[in-house]
Structures are given as structure tokens and as C-alpha cells.
Chains A and B, each alone.
Chain A
Amino acid sequence: MSANHDDHHDAPDGHGRALRLGIGGPVGSGKTALTAALCRSLGPSLRLGVVTNDIYTTEDADFLRRAGVIDPDRILAVQTGCCPHTAIRDDIAANIDAVETLEERFGPLDLVIVESGGDNLTATFSRGLADRQIFVLDVSGGDKVPRKGGPGVTSADLLVVNKTDLAPMVGADLTVMSRDAAAVREGKPVLFTSIREDKGAHSVAEWVSGLVESWRHQHSHSHLS
């Protein structure tokens, strides 16, 4: 399975462009917080771009611009017409356009993060848009969520369970979440974070660095420097 998986990502159009990382998950779980944290941690060493898929307004893009974690021009907002999942899965044209615009303006880039507008547990990124994807849950949704599964939880390259600082307050048992997630994810990684306490989400940043490193390695002929 993993061989096919890698083959897919060796598609020729992967050469000479940044790794595209999708960040999905329910509304409010911490996708924007994670995006900001990754910019904070990886900004000094990687050339970044960010695409947000706000449901209304340009809230997320504005938040990231104000946070000062990345050059505001490197953030593009895409509107999704009532259907945030359509924009990342069925009709990815506007997102691809935004990613390619960033690469044209600021390229070469190492990493482009695409934050989804937030949806239910079934929403995942098309492989035509994201090379790898992170699914972000938070503990306040209850410790049963990982067990319920859904494509986001089961198939994302990384599952992040955020807001662990709230676990005592909502009575969420992290060991239960960890065990259930491991069971439905067949060994794919799960990380627990409290971005409130760790503003750089360092464990996730380290995982992403590793991805970018191997992406570069696989597509090395285009990175002459």
C-alpha cells in the first residue's frame, strides 16, 4: 500500500514545486492556530506560503496577517461558496490557482499550507491539491471522536489532537483518545498538542520538517541550491 502511495506522490508535476500540506478538521479545533504555529516554528528555515479557505469573510487570513508570523502577502484567502469541503475535494480549482499564484509570486517555496474552511469528519483533501494532510481534532469535542473515525481521522497522514489543556475541564480521557486513534489509524502518527501552551506546536513542526526534507530529497533535481 505504501509503495503505491509513494508512487502517487512521485507524479511528475511534483517536481520543482513546494510540498502542499492540507490542514483539515472541524471548525474551531485549532487549524488556524496550528497554521500560525507552523509559520512561527518553520518560518525561519523554510520558504512558506499559506492559503486559507474561510467560510465567511477573511477571518483566518486576517488573523494570520495580524499574528505577524509570515509576510502578509504570502497569505491568500479563497472563498468557498457555502461548501468548504467542495473547495478542497471536489472542485479544487480556486485553491490550486491560489497555490500556483503564491509559487509564481514568491517561488521557489518549500512549503505551502492550505487550511480548509473547516467541516465535518468526512472532509478530506483531494490528492490533486494536497500532497500530505493533517487532520486537527480538539479534546472538547469529546474523547469518542477518534473512535467514530471518518476519512479525516482514519486516513490523514497525521492526526493532531489539540487543546489538551482543556482535557480536565471537559472530562476527556487522553489515553482513550490515543488508544482509539491508534486502532483506527493502523499505525499512522497521532500527536497531542496544546497550542495555547506551545505556541510553536513543536512536535507537529518537527513532523512537517521531516516531510519537507524527504519531499526535497525525492524531487532533488529541482533544488540545485
Chain B
Amino acid sequence: MDVTATEAPALTGAASGMPPTTDLTGQPGPADLTGLTGLSGLLLLADSRLPAGGHAHSGGAEEACRTGAISGPEDLARFLRGRLATAGRVAAALAWSACAAAHVPKFPDTEVPDIRAADSGDPTSTGPAGAADAADKWRLLDAEADARIASPAQRLASRTQGRLLVRTAKRIWPSRALEELARDVPDGAHHPIALGVAARAAGCTPAQAAMAAAYTSVTGAATAAVRLLGLDPVTVHRVLADLPYDSVIAEQHDWSALPAHAAPALDLLAEQHLRTEVRLFVS
């Protein structure tokens, strides 16, 4: 493997707070002659086989199946559309922001990037203006995520999945960004933030990170419904294929203006689920 080819643009990207070979709109930059930059990382991160604990979360689908709110493919399609438009949109925005704010140098690297310099020097910086240090950065973004998840049960599920993803991703894509996140949010960053930073470590662009977040916001629920109701898996994949993922992904610049689409029904399902005695899924 040609290390210089991947490392050199990566370091340039870190200094400007920009992704390695792609600008924030997801357009291929000059170094990406094939359009393939970040795609392998995206595939690995979006794969339900990624060993990061996602298989045990239903995103409210188990409770919705139990109460009869989901009983067939049509119900499931409506549920997933709603999930994508609310939780999915917020997750995509958070993942975009986290990916864009993560610093990329891989181990071994020689110097820690000065985040203050990068933030103040770059007008398109997604970091918070005047952030005191890197630790503040992750705690701030994590707090933005926290403020957007009303249900304590969902917050817990999100942090649990985030913690597991960081632990797994640190071993797959050793990087300063993931080490910093693990250090600064030790109880587990919210899942979309973990996903955004993992995506950056995996060489993805912010747009790809957002796509991974949008996609995984519905796939776990879809799989859970297949398992719990015995739905035809091909029909359910047709439903997944028809969802408007692109529509929930947008460029993010200002953390205080991140979208905050709530889904009270999802909050209630998550709370009820935690109180249900017989359950197969964590959430």
C-alpha cells in the first residue's frame, strides 16, 4: 500500500478542518480521480455485520411490533419513513458535523493538530467558535446531540451504541480522532457522533458519514421487524430501497443550527420498551 498517497492529503485536510480529498459538499476533490474515495469505509460502516453491537437494537421497532403499530410491510414503510425523516435526519446532521470536525492523522503521527488555529483560521470550520480545546469540542457536540433526544431510554441506547462503535472502530481504524473522542466522552458519545468520527477515521467524507447515519437509522428497525414478524425479507428490502435517504442529508456548518426533528411516538416507544418485561432487543 502506498502510504504517502493516502497520508499526504489527509494531513492537509486536518490542518484546514476539511476532509482529506473531498470538500464539504461531497464533491470529489482533485486527488480523487476515481470517485472511490471513502467508499470502502462507508460500506464497512454501513454493513450490519460491523461488529459494534447494532444487531441488538431495533430502534423502537420491537415495541411497535408488540403493540401492533407495525404488523406488515405497509406499516413498516410508514414507520421507517418517519424514523428517517426525524431521527435519521438529526443523526445524519450530527454525523456530518462530527466527521467534518474530526482530525484525521493516523498513528503514528508526530504532532497534535492545533484545533484553535484550525477553527479560527478556517471560515467554513464546523467547530464551535472559540472552543477552548479539543475536549470541549466533543463535549459540546455531544451535548447538542443530547439536547435533541427527548427520551432517556433513547439517549441511553444511543450512548451505548456509540461507546461500542468507538471501541470497535478504534481497533479497525486506529486514529487520533477516535482516541480523542473516547477520552473526552468516556461514557460513550452519542452514536451519530461516534459514527461521524469513525467515518473520518475510515477515510470517509462528511457526506458519506451522513449517509451511513441516515441508512443505519432505519436498517436496524427493518431487520428487527423481519425477525419479529417473519416478514418477507425481500419485500422489506424493497421498502428500504425506496426510502429517500438523500433528502435528509444536508451540509452542516453551524452546530447551534443543527436540525432538531423530534418524533414523540419514537420517544414513547423507547420508554415503553424499556419497561416491557419480555424483550429481545436492547432498544
Indicate if A86 sits at the interface (CB-CB under 8 A): yes
Q: Please report the C-alpha to C-alpha distance between residue A79 and residue B54 in the assembled complex, in whole angstroms.
A: 11
Q: Please report the C-alpha to C-alpha distance between residue A83 and residue B55 in the assembled complex, in whole angstroms.
A: 8
A57: chain B residues at CB < 8 Å are 277-279
Indicate if A91 sits at the interface (CB-CB under 8 A): yes
- Given A93-B52, A94-B56 in contact, is the A81-B278 Cβ separation under 8 Å? no
Least CB distance from B169 to A in Å reads 11
Indicate if B155 sits at the interface (CB-CB under 8 A): no
A198: chain B residues at CB < 8 Å are none
Whether B51 and A93, one on each chain, are in contact in the complex, defined by CB atoms closer than 8 angstroms, is yes
Indicate if A96 sits at the interface (CB-CB under 8 A): yes
Q: B53: which of A55, A56, A82, A93 is its contact (CB, 8 Å)?
A: A93
Whether B58 and A81, one on each chain, are in contact in the complex, defined by CB atoms closer than 8 angstroms, is yes
The residue among A57, A87, A90, A94 with the most chain B CB atoms within 10 A of its own CB is A94
Whether A80 and B53, one on each chain, are in contact in the complex, defined by CB atoms closer than 8 angstroms, is no
Nearest A-chain residue to B282, judged by Cβ: A79
Nearest A-chain residue to B283, judged by Cβ: A79
Q: Please report the C-alpha to C-alpha distance between residue A97 and residue B53 in the assembled complex, in whole angstroms.
A: 10
Indicate if B129 sits at the interface (CB-CB under 8 A): no
Least CB distance from B261 to A in Å reads 26
Whether B279 and A90, one on each chain, are in contact in the complex, defined by CB atoms closer than 8 angstroms, is no
Nearest B-chain residue to A53, judged by Cβ: B56
Whether B280 and A94, one on each chain, are in contact in the complex, defined by CB atoms closer than 8 angstroms, is no
B228: chain A residues at CB < 8 Å are 82
Whether B164 and A94, one on each chain, are in contact in the complex, defined by CB atoms closer than 8 angstroms, is yes
A90: chain B residues at CB < 8 Å are 49, 51, 55
Query: Size of chain B's interface in residues, with CB distance under 8 A?
Result: 24
B253: chain A residues at CB < 8 Å are none
- Given A93-B168, A96-B167 in contact, is the A81-B224 Cβ separation under 8 Å? yes
B277: chain A residues at CB < 8 Å are 57
SS class, residues of chain A in contact with chain B: loop
- Chain A, 66-110, contact with B by CB distance < 8 Å: what is the 0/1 string? 000000000000111111001100111110110000000000000
Nearest A-chain residue to B224, judged by Cβ: A81
Whether A79 and B53, one on each chain, are in contact in the complex, defined by CB atoms closer than 8 angstroms, is no
SS class, residues of chain B in contact with chain A: loop
Least CB distance from A114 to B in Å reads 15
Whether B51 and A81, one on each chain, are in contact in the complex, defined by CB atoms closer than 8 angstroms, is no
- Chain B, 38-69, contact with A by CB distance < 8 Å: what is the 0/1 string? 00000000000111111111100000000000
- Given A90-B49, A90-B51, A94-B56 in contact, is the A81-B281 Cβ separation under 8 Å? yes
A83: chain B residues at CB < 8 Å are 55-56, 227
Whether B278 and A82, one on each chain, are in contact in the complex, defined by CB atoms closer than 8 angstroms, is no
Least CB distance from A192 to B in Å reads 33
B168: chain A residues at CB < 8 Å are 93
- Given A91-B55, A96-B167 in contact, is the A82-B49 Cβ separation under 8 Å? no
Nearest B-chain residue to A54, judged by Cβ: B280
Least CB distance from B149 to A in Å reads 20
Whether B163 and A82, one on each chain, are in contact in the complex, defined by CB atoms closer than 8 angstroms, is no
Nearest B-chain residue to A89, judged by Cβ: B51
A78: chain B residues at CB < 8 Å are 56
Q: Please report the C-alpha to C-alpha distance between residue A83 and residue B278 in the assembled complex, in whole angstroms.
A: 15
Least CB distance from B132 to A in Å reads 28
Least CB distance from B55 to A in Å reads 5
* Docked complex: B230-283 residues within 8 A CB-CB of A: 277-282
A55: chain B residues at CB < 8 Å are 280
B58: chain A residues at CB < 8 Å are 81
Which residues of chain B have a CB within 8 Å of any CB of chain A? 49-58, 160, 163-164, 167-168, 224, 227-228, 277-282
Which residues of chain A have a CB within 8 Å of any CB of chain B? 55-57, 78-83, 86-87, 90-94, 96-97
9 additional contacts (CB under 8 A) given A94-B282, A97-B164: A79-B281, A79-B282, A80-B56, A81-B281, A91-B50, A93-B164, A93-B168, A94-B164, A97-B163
Can you list 17 pairs linking A and B with CB atoms under 8 Å apart? A56-B278, A56-B280, A78-B56, A79-B279, A81-B224, A81-B281, A81-B282, A82-B280, A90-B49, A90-B51, A90-B55, A91-B54, A91-B55, A93-B51, A93-B52, A93-B53, A93-B167
